[in-house]
A = this chain, B = another copy of it.
Amino acid sequence: MIGKLRVVNSLTREKEVFEPLNPPHVGMYVCGPTVYSDVHLGNVRTFMSFDVIYRYLQFLGYKVRYVRNITDVGHLSDTGEDKISKKAKLESLEPMEIVQKYTNDFHQVMHTFNLLPPDIEPTATGHLMEQMEMIQELVDNGYAYESNGSVYFDINQFSDKFEYGKLSGRKTEDMLNQTRELDGGSDKRNPLDFALWKKAAPEHIMRWNTKWSDGFPGWHLECSVMSTKYLGEEFDIHGGGMDLKFPHHECEIAQNAGSKGKDGAKYWMHTNMLTVNGTKMSKSLGNSFLPHQLISGDHELLERGFSPMTIRFFMLQSHYASTLDFSNEALNAAQKGYMKLANGLRLIKSYEYPAGGQEDINQKQADQINKICDNCHHAMNDDFNTALAIGHLFNLVKKVNSIQAGQLKLEEIGQETFDRMKTTFISFAEDILGLRLESEISSQNLLDVILEEYKSAKEAKNYDKVDELRAKLKSEGVIVKDMKTGIDWAFEES
């Protein structure tokens, strides 16, 4: 390991040396998607950022347990309806069909962008009994109360002993001033109180029978329950999008402290927002595109589509804590950049140090290469700065291009430096940044090119060439067919 890993902790607002609670183990929890509609690009960026963090921590030798949940019940819309139940009614489906459809789609998108699956992907409905238990603990500890069949977290009681708002830096007085007054019919004691359990309205589809009511859990609860169940009452990293800092993560801390007396995560990490041509990306502004639209180019703001690896490269060209701006220019530039990197990667993978080659070290070149390799590590150690790391990889591409052009000989670099260069390039590009060589070359089109060559050779009565091409294609499982109607082909039937 070169130097120490430092991370910016949202809780302390400091860049801190990363010191896991129980090395070499690292526990990381990231808030996953609510599966009632297509995953949006902001989520993709968040999960991709933590994918790289997961990969780099493993690269550093940590044994990481990465938990990312699926919210399949309880995420309330502005009108207080459960988003999944609402969608189920709209689409006339059983809520779990909605959940399955969008979970499958979500996994497909994660796969398309080459994200590793988390070690555990728990669901809210899979942890109802554990949620009941945490609610009971909070009631027993005096931090929650039942009201008309619902159970609420009690901010007043909690604030006597703990600080509500410390992650987002908010004061309860300010929050109260910004909140509408409770109307007479509210079940809450304080407008800031949030639901742990909601009694279901008669038309509500997803419901479970408990001692409090026939109802469903509040959204914030599941993350406290599942993070502590799988990572312990104290664990290392909790991540999510910046928009979850308040109220979701603030409520998680309150639930953890109120039930277990401990805050949960040591390091909180938040990814920043997306913009489009400098304006915040949002559905209501009509400037929000979905992952599949970015790939196909099927959106009025997009000039063309981009490959999944180009998009991955594009996203990682910004640090996770910076806003990420989409524009056709930036995407086109990323496409060029990614292809350049991919060409370098393909080349260095093809190079082998010459066996028995006599070293003739050019110390300046070797030093430069070693320095670039160091810089790749330093960049990632600096709060997982993928943007910087990619910049350093481009410096390696320059060296690779010099080798290809014959301007720099492997013997001048020497075996040791060459091995390090090759390992560093491949590790950072593929293992850590998760980029992979895409073969976008259509075998069907290439086959057509060869069949035309075959046809020309036949017309020119160049039968050696005809036989040669026929044999080469046969070794690829393709049989050339000389039909009355012209040249055709078939898969070899054996």
Interface residues of A (CB under 8 A from B): 65, 94, 96-97, 99-101, 104, 107, 117-123, 125-130, 133, 208-210, 230, 335-336, 339-340, 342-343, 346, 404-406, 439-447, 449-450, 453, 469, 472-473, 476-478, 483-485, 488, 490-494
Contacts and interface: CB of A to CB of B under 8 A. Distances in A.
Given A469-B449, A472-B449, A493 B120 contact: no
Closest 8 CB pairs of A and B: A446-B446, A443-B443, A126-B126, A339-B493, A343-B490, A441-B443, A96-B120, A339-B491
Contacts of A490: 343, 346
A485 B339 CA distance: 22
Contacts of A101: 119
A173 to B, nearest CB: 39
Nearest to A117: B104
B484 A406 contact: yes
Contacts of A104: 117
A483 B406 contact: yes
B133 A119 contact: no
Given A339-B494, A446-B446, 9 more contacts: A100-B120, A123-B123, A130-B208, A404-B485, A404-B488, A439-B444, A442-B476, A446-B450, A450-B453
A94 B65 contact: yes
A444 B443 CA distance: 8
Given A65-B94, A117-B100, A118-B100, A343 B491 contact: yes
Given A97-B65, A121-B100, A488-B404, A446 B476 contact: yes
10 contacts: A96-B230, A97-B120, A100-B119, A100-B120, A125-B126, A130-B208, A133-B209, A343-B491, A441-B476, A450-B453
A441 B447 contact: yes
Nearest to A126: B126
B447 A336 contact: no
Nearest to A450: B449
Given A404-B483, A450-B450, A440 B339 contact: no
Contact of A477 (B121, B405, B441, B491): B441
A340 B100 CA distance: 36
A492 to B, nearest CB: 7
A123 B122 CA distance: 11
A439 B442 CA distance: 10
A478 B441 contact: yes
B404 A476 contact: no
Nearest to A441: B443
B443 A442 contact: yes
Contacts of A484: 405-406
A65 B493 CA distance: 38
A451 to B, nearest CB: 11
Contacts of A444: 439, 441
Contacts of A339: 491-494
Contacts of A117: 100, 104
A208 B129 contact: yes
A101 B444 CA distance: 36
A439 B443 CA distance: 8
